[in-house]
Amino acid sequence: MPQREVDEMPRCQSCGILIPVQEMVKEHKGKPVIVCSDKCFRIYQTYWYPRYGQPAGGDS
């Protein structure tokens, strides 16, 4: 059974770790946000988003 390559692993948009399995895809402001846990999603909402906004291709 082929293993997932590192390049194909999603990265938590909060803490930045690679997520080999069971990444969580949440929705924030209408966009998907990949995180490794609910805790990271909260950090994304309360810390990263207000400071850095949309990572790329922002439409506003």
- Which positions touch Zn ion (CB under 5 A)? 12, 14-15, 36, 40
Pick between residue 38 and residue 53 the one whose CB is nearest to Zn ion. 38
Pick between residue 4 and residue 39 the one whose CB is nearest to Zn ion. 39
CB of 49 to Zn ion, least distance (A): 14
CB of 50 to Zn ion, least distance (A): 17
CB 41 within 8 A of CB 35: yes
Pick between residue 15 and residue 18 the one whose CB is nearest to Zn ion. 15
In sequence order, which residues have a C-beta less than 8 Å from that of residue 19 and are 6 or more positions away?
9, 10, 11, 12, 34, 36
Q: Please count the helices (runs of H) and the strands (runs of E) in the chain.
A: 2, 2
